[in-house]
Amino acid sequence: MGEITKSNDSILKKIVSKNEIGTLFPLVFLCVVVTIINPSFMTFSNMMDVFRTASYYLIVGAPLTLLLIAADMDLSIGAVTALGGVCCMFAMRAGVSMVLSILIGLAAGALIGIFKAWIIVDCDLPALIVTLGIQYAVNGIVSITTRGMSVSGATKAFKVLGQGRIFGKVYLTVIIALIIAIIYQLILSKTKYGRSLFAVGGNPETARLAGIKVKKRRKEIHVIVSVFAALTGILMASRFSSAQANAGAGTELTVMAAVIIGGTSLFGGSGSVVGSILGCLLLAIISNGLVLIKVDSFWQNLIFGIILLISVAIDKYRQKLSNAA
């Protein structure tokens, strides 16, 4: 009996120790359950809607994975998403070319990222409080400049980014998200830069003694996350043909939840973009599936919260296993 118990414990440890497995199981289970209740879930058009939703999470979730691996966090993502879209649309409405308008939106995100990185890294203030404060400040700027109204003026060429499809079937945003995810996964798994981020998140002092410029790495990732948050806002503005003042509301927690659910440690030092892809898909399927099985949308936040708590608990358990090894 004792051997069976030990065997079960060993299997559990193997499952939990694999970051992506903890997300893959509930993802498959949820797909099966929703399909049984409503077979239209597995139709091509519906799955494209799921992938499209997940793509917006993943575009900023991929660089956020690197930030969490480096033992940092960012709660200003949602506000910067709105800012990027609004700046881009204001420029476009003023007659600026599409390319330059997009660059202006990205530059706005970069400026917030530089300011955020300076306060967190150089001034050595906690990322949680700093990014929360920046979120409120940027949301205030967006609300004041837009007066809470949407900013229209999108050109036909600009609309293609968020509304266009390849071969008339696959949304362009899905392709963009996949390219970004593949690039960041390769950076993590195949480059010295990626290994340095794991070192920074695992033990910053040891990383510094090994010659890694810890502060520089942290600053770079903070700026990159803000730039891609702005890109997400620009693509959302393209999708809806206008920039919404509340475009990124709540996305900071949703994206962070997706990344953590995907197996990236909240405590730094471990994670993968592959896991973040699965986490983004899981949250997108929950949103889509609840609608199809006619569950009140108010239950979404409760379910997201429960999944996030479970994921953090699993992450903590995984940390204990690694420390005991």
So where are the chain's domains? 24-31+41-314
155 CA to centre of own chain = 27
Do 262 and 26 contact (CB within 8 A), yes or no? Answer: no
Query: How many residues does this entry show for the chain?
Result: 325
Count of other CB atoms within 10 angstroms of residue 204 = 18
The residue among 221 and 296 whose pLDDT is bigger is 221
Q: What is the pLDDT of residues 215-225, one digit of tens each?
A: 999 999 999 99
Angle, helices 127-146 vs 77-93, to 10°: value is: 30
| Predicted local distance difference test score (pLDDT) of residue 323 | 63
Look-up of token digits 């890109």? 231
Q: Is 231 exposed, middle or buried (0-12, 13-18, 19+ CB in 10 A)?
A: buried
3-state secondary structure of 244: coil
Whether the predicted pLDDT of 17 surpasses 60: no
Q: Which one, of 308, 305, 297, lies nearest residue 259 by Cα?
A: 308
Range in 178-187, 195-204, 269-278, 307-316 the model is least confident about: 307-316
User: Residue 227 is encoded by which pair of tokens?
Assistant: 């730039």
Residues 6+ apart with CB under 8 A from 309: none
Residue 181 has pLDDT above 90, yes or no: yes
Going through the chain in order, the beta strands assigned E by DSSP cover 151-152, 165-166, 170-171, 242-243
pLDDT at 85: 95
Q: Given this model, what pLDDT does residue 312 score?
A: 72
* Torsion angle defined by CA atoms of residues 80, 83, 87 and 89, in that order, rounded to the nearest 10 degrees: 110
Residues 127-152: what's their mean pLDDT? 93
- Which range in 4-13, 24-33, 51-60, 310-319 is most confidently predicted, on average pLDDT? 51-60
Percent of the chain scoring above 90 in pLDDT: 63
What was the pLDDT predicted at 8?
Answer: 52
In terms of pLDDT, which residue wins out, 259 or 321?
Answer: 259
The whole-angstrom separation of Cα 81 and Cα 92 is: 17
pTM for this structure?
Answer: 0.89
- With 80 as the cut, is the pLDDT of residue 296 above it? no
Residue 159 has a pLDDT of: 93
Average pLDDT of the residues in 158-162: 93
Cα–Cα distance, 106 to 279 (Å, whole number) = 25
The residue-averaged pLDDT of 46-70 equals 95
Dihedral Cα 306, 307, 312, 316, nearest 10 deg:
100
More confident residue, 10 or 52: 52
The answer, yes or no, to whether residue 287 has pLDDT greater than 60, is: yes
- Mean pLDDT for 155-174 is 91
Q: How far is CA 287 from CA 171, 250, 283, in A?
A: 19, 14, 6
pLDDT grade for 295, boundaries at 50, 70 and 90: confident
Extended strands (E) in 163-317: 165-166, 170-171, 242-243
Paired residues of 165 in beta bridges: 171
Q: Which CATH architecture has domain 24-31+41-314?
A: Orthogonal Bundle (1.10)
